[in-house]
Structure 1
Amino acid sequence: MSMPGPPLRVASAEPVGALPRGTDLAYEPKFDGHRMVVFVRREGVLLQARSGRIVTAAFPDLAAAARRLPDGTVLDGEVVVWRQGRTDFAAVQRRAAATAARAPALARALPASYAAFDLLAEDGEDLRPLPYGERRGRLEALVGPLGPPLQPVPMTRDPAQALTWFATLHTIGVEGLVVKRVDQAYRGGSRTWRKLRHTTATDAAVTGFTGPPAHPSALVLTLPDDDAPVVSAPLPPALRAQAGEVLAGRTVPGGGTAVAVGVGEVAYRRVAAGTTAEVERGTTRHPVVTVLRLRLPEEQEPEPEP
């Protein structure tokens, strides 16, 4: 098969409530970051977000690092930004939202790391039909020697080791575990993996709002591991008032559309990157995202200067 190219549909995971066990399983830590596919071709490097959007210009540091890989390489993985010993989702979201002019300064202030968890092509050969175990071995051989900022995600076949990771790594921003069958092909667009989270609560980037600016009806959010904006459940009165205060002066020109569960696409107003909210995601096929609280300005880092 020929080398896969963008837009590439990525594989995803189905949430589970307990750690699956079996001799045919592998376990990886799930980082709280931004999903990215890396394409290395003779004509240059392309970086693709989960939605299919090309984000190369926003991550010049990772594009430069990926040039150390041979032509014909395709990686799937997670972009993270490390700050004070843990991953910072708000920081990586700021990186993803950067303009081409702003991106170099942000790359210096908030350098990104890429945690690769799958090798989809090597030397132009499509590896997706191969079992995960074989792809993983080839990933380690190819990416392992490079060192930061490109590294393979840790992996273990030992469920006891996986549970140790689950119990200890949440302090550095690891939100859980991803479980994969070692004999399984890579199936883009399907929930072929399983994911065990510490909690359904997570941080999300606020990218816009619906309703009046002083009392937004709902927030438009970008969730970890998915750059497609979603509309939250309606905000309760207290949060509507707080959202109006926190987002005051942060509206930027232009609007967009996002999907609201049970409604479809709705129009929204955009806000500048840098505001986050703690949210809870439902576990149904089309989960509702509920805002638990907004991160107040004093809880957030200021935008780095160029």
Structure 2
Amino acid sequence: MRFPVDVALAQAVPRLPTGAGWWYEIKFDGHRSVIWRSADTVHVQARSGRDVTPVWMDLALAAFTHLRPGTVLDGEAVVYRDGRVDFGAAQSRASSSPPRARQLAEEWPATFAAWDILQHPDLGDVRGRPYTERRGLLLDLLAAVPPPLQPVPATDDVEVAQAWYETLHEQGIEGIVAKRASSPYRAGRIWQKVRHADTVDAEVVGYTGPAARPRALVVELPDGRHALSQALTAPIAAAVSAHIVDSGPGKRTRSREAGSYTTVAPGLTVEVLAGTTRHSVVTVTRVR
């Protein structure tokens, strides 16, 4: 494996997938990080591939002390304040200078919530192995490792996962990530995630795709922001199409938030799930 690595991502969905073969992990609200323990040093990689070791030096030192050379772990750099996960504190650390990061680390030390192992010190690259096998390797590797390096909680019981989702929000937990037991690790959106969200009414200002079967909507949220929704279900697309036909053809336009889309006449309101964390994920649930 070569530094940096392309990381796996999760696609936002409105509800947890169910059925045989799914595993669920708690999703912490921190900074995505990959820890590389080589023979003589440690590197911390951001999701973008950038080397961010200087601002997470406390995690790098812990990894150098407790991880064996040849280990590569994927996870989240998390900062706790007053007993809850604080994304603002993690953001402050990530955007600070190395001297300032050291000061912040003394006051609010970081924790690394590991959810995957990409390279094992004895087995080498394990990304092609199933999730459940990688999970076992991760737990074995971290069994005797003290904080701040810890595996994320995981379960194959959807009721437990739902209980986590409903009860841990006040502690700063962002949501739940669902992964297939048989899935290898690869770049791209291979997982699913459910975040805490509120239902709000939004005005439809445009759509993508054909008028007869719109694929997604551009909506104006209550705070004035425009956002592109996730793909519409067939019933919602049909209801929106009827409004488009009645209101006449729109104009092609483009915005920074939504990209290229076709405008629609005022008068159509939809109910949406709009993410309450820093991520704005909009899912249309029904037409008003």
**Same fold, TM exceeding 0.5?**
yes
Partner of 1:302: none
Q: Which runs of 5+ in 2 are unaligned?
A: 200-220, 226-254, 261-275, 284-288
Report what 1:53 is aligned to. 50
Give a deviation string over 1:177-229, Cα, whole Å, max 9, x none: 000001000011x111000111179xxxxxxxxxxxxxxxxxxxxxxxxxxxx
Partner residue of 2:103?
Answer: 105
AA in 2 matched with 1:112:
A
State the structure with more CA Rg. 2
Alignment partner, residue 3 of structure 2: 6
Structure 1, residues 42-93: CA drift from partner, whole Å, max 9, x if none? 1300000001111100111101000110000000000111111110001001
Matches of 1:282 and 1:71 in 2, distance apart? 39
For structure 1, the 5+ residue unaligned runs are 202-232, 238-258, 265-276, 285-306
Q: TM-score, normalised by structure 2?
A: 0.70
**TM-score normalised to structure 1 length:** 0.66
Shift of 1:144: 2.9
CA 1:130–1:114: 2 relative to 1, 3 Å: same
Tell whether 2:31 aligns with 1:30. no
- Check if 1:78 corresponds to 2:73: no
Partner SS for 1:176: strand
Contact 1:15 1:283 in 2 (8 A): no
Partner secondary structure for residue 102 of structure 1: helix
CA distance 1:70–1:95, shift in 2 (3 Å)? same
Q: Name the CA distance, whole Å, in 2 between partners of 1:96 and 1:260.
A: 25
- Aligned match of 1:196 in 194, 197, 203? 194
Q: Structure 1 residue 280: deviation in Å?
A: 5.8
Q: Secondary structure at the residue paired with 1:101?
A: helix
Shift of residue 23 of structure 1? 1.8
Give the superposed CA RMSD.
Answer: 2.4
1:8 Cα deviation (Å)? 1.1
Q: Mark the CA change 1:280 to 1:107 in structure 2 (over 3 Å): closer, same or farther.
A: closer
Q: Which runs of 4+ in 1 moved over 6 A?
A: none
Residue number among 21, 41, 56 corresponding to 1:44 in the alignment = 41
Report if aligned partners of 1:144, 1:152 keep a CA contact under 8 Å in 2: no
Match of 1:240 in 2: none
Distance in 1 of aligned mates of 2:181 and 2:224: 45
